[in-house]
Structure 1
Amino acid sequence: MNGTSADKADIRAMALSRRDALGADRHTQAAQALAGQADAIGFKPGDIVSGFWPIRSEIDPRPLMEALAARGAMIVLPAVIDRQTIVFRRHDPDMPLVTGSFGTRAPGPEAEELDPDLMLVPLSAFDDAGNRIGYGAGHYDRAIARLHAKGRSPRLVGLAFECQRVERVPAEPHDVPLHTVLTENGLQALPTQR
């Protein structure tokens, strides 16, 4: 493992340890705080917004996704196929979700695949420059690169608890910075906003 990968692993472990230590009440309050920011994240009715089904101790984006859908967003969820690739499938709340890799839940293969205009991105850690650390598998990095190759530039909104903020994330050439981060404290202005 090179220095940057080792550094990222240490930062990931530290930030996830802090996130794991949060109590259930904090999780519930944070999820509601995110939903209260639905109008602030910058989307238009009809935009395709990728959310995610929370795993482990992730901040819960489901109330936010419901608020966005109520305001006219079309919600898609990431589905991991072939253990390497994320596709985004339309989420219909009346349709059951299937369990996928890493304990994720997503619409099944019969759901329509769509490219998002805005991505709510899960993460392990983030810094004030908009750099993020995921879980180490590179799924979102590859998905974003694939969207860019198709001429798409979705707005990237990281979702996290404030305790996941770190002083510095070592960025690598393939890393795409977030446009903004939404925590329980609100939308964070980042220098990478474009």
Structure 2
Amino acid sequence: MSGAGAGAEAERAAVKAALRRAALAARAAGGDQAALDRNLRAALAPHAGQVLSGYWPMKGEPDPRPAMGVHDGPLCLPVVPGRGVPLIFRRWQGEDLAPGPLGTSQPPDSLPEILPEVLIVPMLAFDSGLHRLGYGGGYYDRTLEMLRAIGPVTAIGLAWQVQRVDSLPVGPFDQRLDLLVTDTEILRPEL
């Protein structure tokens, strides 16, 4: 990487680190879970019958489980197989979860793998351009890139409205969301 390219990347990383610290503090305030659930159910309604991946919330993340519980289609949850690789997904029908890396809870290895058609994606922050700031591991960016290379997939971000920022630094590997749901709105791409 050239000196200018390395400098720009280091600056983007520093900005993202500062945004992560601020976003964690903002997310602690939370939001209206009932309103978030209504909005998420509305966003998922057109995807009835499709394989849906949610997540098991941690660290004050918005909880997608109520909407997942009424989804008319197969459910799966992500599994972190290792650092630097895409997530895998295991079919989930309410089985007990096992502790996973990075404080996650994930389905046991005994459950079958399945490819999701719709993903509910957690985050620390988002902007109106449907960009998200994750925890810094790149898991969802790598996963979305892989899934989009296989076929159509819809990525629905889930966040509290207090997690919104004016803009995020976007790198070449950052994957844009298709939709974003908060406790106050459903953001769609501008055409």
The TM-score normalised by the length of structure 1 is 0.87
Range with bigger deviation, 5-14 or 34-43: 34-43
| 2:55 counterpart of 1:47 | no
| 2:177 counterpart of 1:178 | yes
**Per-residue deviation at 1:153?**
2.7
Q: SS at 2:17's partner residue?
A: helix
**Per-residue deviation at 1:42?**
4.9
1:146 counterpart residue number = 146
Query: Between Structure 1 and Structure 2, how many residues are aligned?
Result: 181
For 2:38, give the aligned amino acid. Answer: G
Contact 2:119/2:153, CA 8 A, preserved across alignment:
yes
Match of 2:61 among 58, 61, 79: 58
| 2:13 counterpart of 1:5 | yes
Q: Which runs of 5+ in 2 are unaligned?
A: 1-8
Q: SS at 2:79's partner residue?
A: strand
Range with bigger deviation, 183-192 or 128-137: 183-192
1:164 counterpart residue number = 163
1:90 counterpart residue number = 91
Higher strand share: 1
Q: SS at 1:12's partner residue?
A: helix
1:189 counterpart residue number = 188
Match of 1:21 among 24, 29, 43: 29
For 1:16, give the aligned amino acid. Answer: L
Once the two structures are superposed, residues 15-65 of structure 1 have per-residue CA deviations (whole angstroms, 9 ceiling, x without a partner) of: 11111234xxx4xx42x2233231333533320111000011111111111
Once the two structures are superposed, residues 91-137 of structure 1 have per-residue CA deviations (whole angstroms, 9 ceiling, x without a partner) of: 111x2111101111111111111111111000011000011110000
Once the two structures are superposed, residues 60-84 of structure 1 have per-residue CA deviations (whole angstroms, 9 ceiling, x without a partner) of: 111111122xxx1211100101234
Summarize the Cα distance change of 1:4–1:42 in structure 2 as closer, same or farther, 3 Å threshold: farther
Summarize the Cα distance change of 1:131–1:44 in structure 2 as closer, same or farther, 3 Å threshold: closer
Match of 1:35 among 37, 46, 50: 37
Q: Which runs of 5+ in 1 are unaligned?
A: none
- d(CA) in 2 for partners of 1:102 and 1:170? 24
Range with bigger deviation, 160-169 or 12-21: 12-21
| 2:88 counterpart of 1:119 | no
Once the two structures are superposed, residues 123-168 of structure 1 have per-residue CA deviations (whole angstroms, 9 ceiling, x without a partner) of: 011000011110000011111122123x223111100000000000
Range with bigger deviation, 37-46 or 12-21: 37-46
Q: SS at 1:184's partner residue?
A: coil
The TM-score normalised by the length of structure 2 is 0.88
For 1:177, give the aligned amino acid. Answer: R
- d(CA) in 1 for partners of 2:188 and 2:145? 23
| 2:138 counterpart of 1:135 | no
Range with bigger deviation, 160-169 or 33-42: 33-42
RMSD: 1.6
Q: SS at 1:9's partner residue?
A: helix
